[in-house]
Amino acid sequence: MSQNRNSKRSRGSRRSSGGSNMLSAIALMIIAILLLVFVFAYISNNSFLSFFKRFKSDGSETETTSDETKTQDAADEPGLVWLDKDELVYVLSEDELSDREDSDIIEEDGKKLLASEWLEDGSDLYYFDDKGRAVSDLNEGAFNYRFDREYRLYSISYNNAYISESENDQKDYPGVVQTKTLWAFLDTEKQVDDLYAIKYKKTTESFSHLLGGDSNLQYTSNFAMNVADGYIYYVAFVDASDKMLEPIANKLFRMKPGAEKREICAEDIKGYKLIDAGNGDIHVYVDEGTKVKRVTSFKEDESMKTFPEDGDYYVDTSSGKAMLMLEGGYPVTLASDSFKAGNFVYAVNANGEITSVASKSQVNYGGYTYTVENGDSFGKKKARVIRSANGKKEVISAEFDGSVSNMHFDFDSSKIVAEYTDANGSAGLVTISLDGDVDIVYDASDLGSKCILYAIKDGYATVRTSNTFKQAKLVSSYPLAVGVDPVEISEAPESELNESAGSSDPSNAATGNTAETHAQPAAPDSNADTEIGAAAEPGAAANGQSGSALGTVEKKGPGEA
């Protein structure tokens, strides 16, 4: 009996041990399954925590991640909002709506989004397309803009190959940029390399003007100019190693129309962007090559020299070239084809070198206009000095051999200095007094076949013969012609001129000869053009009419006007 009990007890113990082993096996299987699930979740979501957050506390699964939930919650507030990891929008507040044009706003899911517009957020810049999404790149005119992964602007570059599709509509005002009160555009006739001079026109005026004036032109690259708050902003994007253009290379300037000085905003830039912050406040962003930053201060550009028309200029030929200099040793570094300096008009390139000198056929002084008539008499060149006023012309010198051209007044000596070619074709200089005396200048009496007058200063004349520059002292050597009492000129009848012309050709009458390299000679006084008459000895004019190599003169009797 006791043996049976022991046997039953033993069987019960074996049953208990078997059940325990089964529970352990089941537990291990569950743990293994959970481990597999957790490993899969970790691989798929990169963290167990992210997977766990997929489930709500009540055990039901949500359709969005925690980041998406956060974004949707943020969309209820104005400002920058991430719709997902790739889309950034800007939700406008009620206050901002009143400051925006309708074209800058689109509606989506009941929200007002900024569209087709720039946004300034602190020191960061964004651009939102017409769908209200922030962009990663943008081409706006000649400038290319690039944005980082957070859609913040990080690069601005200038495209010098850009061609405007609307350029055909800007024939009168090429490259124009404008506001309601000011237009700025390019003067395509004034060009240095790929740069153009800037012109402007106020909408209240009919005429256009050169920025900086005729003697201080401002240059810009095409489509690199903007107008904002009364200023013209501009950059010359060029190779900074070019010594001629180094003073302006890759520098952002701004200048008000009519101002004598410009301001420098930034140097060595790749591009720039202006943002209208409202209330006339313009924010300037520049790309320095390593980052985009906002410029907060501007300073007057001390390197810019103002070249006024009445400035004290001189011509420096020490380098073998004629350089136009402002007193103090400053070269005229901005190109111009009509730079006025004293009594001269020069064409100057961007480094100050004079490329040509405009010839002058007359001098106006003391109420009179002085000219020299040149002509031929039986194959011999003759000339005489004429002065005119109030429609009356008078001969004030005896006739002399040779011809005279390019006349300039020397204020120090109160005499006219002019180029002279003698009867044998040799070149030189003469001085002409206001009374009609004509004298050869000793230092320039034998300069060869060509003499070009470049400047007059401190008793010396700068002249060029071939490719050599010389300084000629303005000291008289010997008289060429003496002054005479003024003899009024009267026009001879056409029949008389034809009969007295003899073998001379009227077409040979010159009206102020000019050297070959003179630029665009000024038109002579029409009153100085007379037909060539019969030959006569110098100073042979008497009462009534008398013949002259250069026309007919008439002396008035006592009391006659």
Q: Give me the pLDDT at residue 47, please.
A: 42
In our burial notation (b when 16+ CB lie closer than 10 A, e otherwise), range 205-220 reads eeeeebbbbbbbbbbb
d(CA 267, CA 252): 6
Of 469, 368, 353, whose CA–CA distance to 409 is shortest?
Answer: 368
Q: Give me the pLDDT at residue 491, please.
A: 53
Are 141 and 162 in contact by the 8 Å Cβ rule? The answer is: yes
Q: Give me the pLDDT at residue 511, please.
A: 35
SS (H, E, C) 215-274: CCCCEEECCCEEEECCEEEEEECCCCCCCCCCCCECCEEEECCCCCCCEEEECCCCEEEE
Model pTM score: 0.55
Handedness of CA 491, 422, 520, 398 (dihedral sign): negative
SS (H, E, C) 461-488: EEEEECCEEEEEECCEEEEEECEEEEEE
pLDDT in tens, 439-479: 998 766 666 678 899 999 999 999 998 778 999 899 877 89
Q: Give me the pLDDT at residue 530, please.
A: 29
Q: Give me the pLDDT at residue 503, please.
A: 36
Give the torsion through C-alpha atoms of 345, 346, 347, 351, to 10 deg.
Answer: -140
End-to-end CA distance of the chain: 179
* SS3 label, residue 167: helix
- The residues pairing with 404 across neighbouring beta strands, listed in sequence order, are 420
Q: Give me the pLDDT at residue 211, please.
A: 95
Per-residue pLDDT of the chain (561 residues; tens, 9 = 90+): 444 444 444 444 444 455 567 777 777 787 777 777 665 655 555 444 433 333 333 433 334 344 443 444 445 689 999 998 789 999 999 888 887 888 889 999 999 999 999 999 998 999 999 999 999 999 999 999 999 999 999 999 999 999 887 755 577 899 999 999 999 999 998 888 899 999 999 999 989 999 988 767 899 999 999 999 999 999 999 998 887 788 899 999 999 999 989 999 999 999 999 999 888 899 999 999 999 999 999 999 987 777 777 788 999 999 899 999 998 888 887 778 888 888 899 999 877 899 999 999 999 999 999 999 999 877 788 999 999 999 899 999 999 999 999 999 998 999 999 999 988 888 889 999 999 999 998 766 666 678 899 999 999 999 998 778 999 899 877 899 999 999 998 654 444 434 433 333 333 333 333 334 554 433 333 333 323 233 333 333 333 344 455 665 554 443 333
Q: Which residues contact 370 (CB under 8 A, 6 or more apart)?
A: 362, 363, 364, 385, 386, 387, 407, 416, 432, 434
Amino acid at 474: L
Give the position of tokens 């008793």: 459
